[in-house]
Amino acid sequence: MPVDLPAITPSIGSKIPVISLFSGAGGLDLAVERVADAPLLSPVVPSAGPFRVAVATDYSAQALDTLALNLPETATWPGDIRDTPTSELLRIGSLSEGDAALVVGGPPCTPFSKSGFWLAEKRESRDPNASLLEEYVRVIAQARPEAFVLENVQALTYKTHEKHFTQLLAALAELGYNPQWKTLLAADFGVPQLRKRVFIVGRRDGRAFHFPEPTHAGPSETTRTWDTSKVPHVTAEQAFAGLETTAEMGELVEGKYGELAAEVPGGQNYLWHTSRFGGRNEFEWRSRYWTFLLRLAPQKPSSTLQAQPGPYVGPFHWENLPNAEGELRARRLRVPELLRLMTFPDNFRLIGRRADVQRQLGNAVPLELGKAVLRALTLQLGYIDAETDSDDRLVRSTSDAVLIS
């Protein structure tokens, strides 16, 4: 049986430590440290929130370099979690069992992503990396945080992965954490991206966590009616408002499908070039993945940003630019635009080449989505009070109204 541990009572002026697993570039970590901050586009500054990320670990040393660049007070540990004892993480973070308020993290989603469903091992849920869920549970069991937040792709909840998902919930429940889960749409929380992710949240005291109510609403791939009393989804055009960018090397879509990509209107994909639409009749209906030659629609949120897109996988920007020969070509999204679509601060810095940056951001948790879940948990744990939270929601509403005006 788990050992009962007292609730954490921070001393005045101190911040409560958090352990981050599968940290990547630090999207969820940034949400932890900025949980009490006003939303959207504010720079990376010291937060008045109650938490600090004491230790972060990830298999990718490069991603951790990015995290350290933006959260320099966080101790980082690059390495495979399967080879990293919990005691080592506690040592690096100067922690003991029960010290951490939270354990947060998103085990790599590759084993459960729809992107690789042509592989038999994924269709049959045999990917060996699925064991990383067990490592997450192991750290919870040995670190005994006051609560945890686990994030993953929606496909983790599909019937194909029912065994893994059921075992995960059962293991967390056996530890006394009473896990609650829900699939959330990032756009419903002010993120200009139609990105669905499942969150699992549990508390050491066994009380049920209550997920936050959406602040925004609008159409999506599966939604045709929505709550019009809420703030409309933030569009890609609104997200890019006031953003000044410069051309990036290799940003134009050239090669075999370069000319076809340039002819696709904003909001359309390769289906534009089938017999059913106004382009060339080059492709069979539904013969490619949805993101093939996909262009952003200015008046809608972006589709999910891909971590490892192929050369013709979007979303691409809706504007065309001339190449060296003067021929119009679609262009890829620039790094500052990717940051805006993830609701990361404009001054967030990333390590690596363009492909490395895309991978780090594509694998990250959008900041405002992470903050929404963590804010609800922080409120329910009593680390911010209802009055403070209400005041901040007023700031959120005002900020959003300015953004969409």
| Beta-bridge partner residues of 295 | 316
**Is residue 357 one of the residues assigned to a domain?**
no
Domain with 371 in it: what CATH number? 3.40.50.150
Angle in degrees, CA 263, 267, 273, rounded to 5:
40
**What's the half-sphere exposure (Cβ side, CA atoms, 13 Å) at 160?**
20
Q: pTM of the prediction?
A: 0.89
pLDDT digits (tens, 9 = 90+) for 142-179: 999 999 999 999 889 888 888 889 999 999 999 999 99
Residue 380 has what pLDDT? 97
**Is residue 55 one of the residues assigned to a domain?**
yes
Long-range contact set of residues 344-350: C-beta below 8 Å, sequence gap at least 24: 344/27, 344/30, 345/41, 345/42, 345/43, 345/44, 346/41, 346/43, 346/243, 347/43, 347/44, 348/30, 348/44, 348/70, 349/66, 349/69, 349/70, 350/25, 350/66, 350/69
- Alpha-carbon span 386 to 45, nearest angstrom: 24
pLDDT digits (tens, 9 = 90+) for 225-283: 999 999 999 999 999 999 999 999 999 999 999 999 999 999 999 999 999 999 999 99
Which of the pair, 345 or 116, is modelled with greater confidence? 345
pLDDT digits (tens, 9 = 90+) for 191-241: 999 999 999 999 999 999 999 999 999 998 888 899 999 999 999 999 999
Q: Crossing angle of helices 367-381/386-404, nearest 10°?
A: 160
Q: Is 76 helix (H, G, I), strand (E, B) or coil?
A: strand
- Alpha-carbon span 392 to 400, nearest angstrom: 12
Residue 222 has what pLDDT? 82
Query: 67 exposed, middle or buried (CB, 10 Å; 0-12, 13-18, 19+)?
Result: buried
**How many contiguous H segments (helices) and E segments (strands) does the chain have?**
12, 13
Task: Kindly state the DSSP code that residue 342 receives in the 8-state scheme.
Answer: T
Angle in degrees, CA 387, 393, 398, rounded to 5:
135
pLDDT digits (tens, 9 = 90+) for 378-387: 999 999 886 5
Residue 4 has what pLDDT? 65
**Is residue 249 one of the residues assigned to a domain?**
no
**Is residue 332 one of the residues assigned to a domain?**
no
Residue 112: pLDDT band (50, 70, 90) is very low
User: What residues contact residue 308 under an 8 Å CB cut-off, 6+ apart?
Assistant: 355, 358, 359, 362
Checking if the pLDDT of 300 tops 60, the result is yes
Please name which of 160, 156, 158 lies closest in space to residue 168, comparing C-alpha atoms: 156
**Is residue 96 one of the residues assigned to a domain?**
yes
Residue 182 Cα distances to 172, 209, 210, 235, angstroms: 15, 11, 10, 24
Whether the Cβ atoms of residue 214 and residue 188 lie closer than 8 Å to each other: yes
Residue carrying the six token digits 């298999």: 59
- Alpha-carbon span 327 to 11, nearest angstrom: 63
Residue 299 Cα distances to 236, 331, 369, 376, angstroms: 7, 18, 21, 29
Whether the Cβ atoms of residue 72 and residue 65 lie closer than 8 Å to each other: no
Average pLDDT, the chain: 88
Is 109 part of the annotated catalytic residue set? yes
Residue 161 Cα distances to 103, 123, 175, 200, angstroms: 23, 9, 22, 15
Picking from 6-20, 218-232, 276-290, 311-325, which range would have the lowest pLDDT averaged per residue?
6-20
Whether the Cβ atoms of residue 245 and residue 331 lie closer than 8 Å to each other: no
Residue 386 has what pLDDT? 67
Structural domain span for residue 109: 16-229+366-404
**Is residue 127 one of the residues assigned to a domain?**
yes
Q: Which of 35, 109, 200, 313 is catalytic?
A: 109
Residue 352 has what pLDDT? 96
Runs of H (alpha helix) within 71-205 = 86-92, 120-123, 132-143, 162-174
User: Count of domains in the chain?
Assistant: 1
**Is residue 253 one of the residues assigned to a domain?**
no
Whether the Cβ atoms of residue 207 and residue 218 lie closer than 8 Å to each other: no
Residue 164 has what pLDDT? 86
- Alpha-carbon span 120 to 116, nearest angstrom: 9
Residue 91 Cα distances to 77, 87, 95, 99, 141, angstroms: 11, 6, 6, 12, 16
Token pair belonging to 14:
């101190």
**Is residue 245 one of the residues assigned to a domain?**
no
